[in-house]
Amino acid sequence: MLAQADAVVRPHLIMAETEAEQLSALAVQMEQAAPLAADLLLAEIDRAEIRPDDAMPDHVVRMRSTVRFEDDAHGAARSVLLVYPKEADIAAGKISVLSLVGAGLFGLSVGQSIQWPDRDGHERALRILKVEPPGRLVF
């Protein structure tokens, strides 16, 4: 019974079919380099609602979305661009989908939050405040 009481209810996720396929392959490739983030991302893909690419709502975090979110670990809202690992540049606000924060944000919608681990294994809430879909310029 204790295990059921401790079970964390995860929010509903929506992912684009092409992105889910690409990220599944990437996470498998990166399991040695980033095992925790890769495993968490694969688990999130497995439980997500997968939709055709052209049926994705604008309010869902996708690759190359600009995301404004609040992280309980820092308390302040910040905006980032979610990118593939080779494009990541923290100083420029580009975070990898294979970082712990990036994996936690992917597939969430505006208004949702998720309890997500940090590098030290502590859980904290990530809350989605705003999403700009891929391809839109944000100033």
What CATH number has the domain bearing residue 101?
Answer: 3.10.50.30
The pLDDT value given to residue 70: 95
- Do the domain assignments include residue 65? yes
What pTM, to 2 d.p., does this model score? 0.86
- Do the domain assignments include residue 3? no
- Do the domain assignments include residue 139? no
Q: Supply the range of the domain harboring residue 66.
A: 10-132
- Do the domain assignments include residue 2? no
Nearest residue to 103 (alpha-carbon basis) of 52, 34, 57: 34
The model's pLDDT over 87-106, given as tens digits with 9 standing for 90+, comes to: 999 999 999 999 999 999 99
The pLDDT value given to residue 139: 41
The pLDDT value given to residue 67: 97
For residue 96 the two structure tokens come to 């990898």
The pLDDT value given to residue 2: 40
- Do the domain assignments include residue 54? yes
The pLDDT value given to residue 127: 95
Q: Strands, DSSP E only, in 26-122?
A: 49-51, 66-71, 77-83, 94-96, 113-117
The pLDDT value given to residue 3: 42
The model's pLDDT over 30-49, given as tens digits with 9 standing for 90+, comes to: 999 888 889 999 999 999 99
- Do the domain assignments include residue 74? yes
The pLDDT value given to residue 136: 58
Share the mean pLDDT of the chain.
Answer: 89
Look at the chain and report how many structural domains it folds into: 1
- Do the domain assignments include residue 4? no
User: How long is the chain?
Assistant: 139
Mean pLDDT by runs of 10 across the 139 residues of the chain is: 50 96 95 90 95 95 96 88 95 94 95 89 91 72
* Contact by Cβ (8 Å): 107, 48: yes
- Do the domain assignments include residue 42? yes
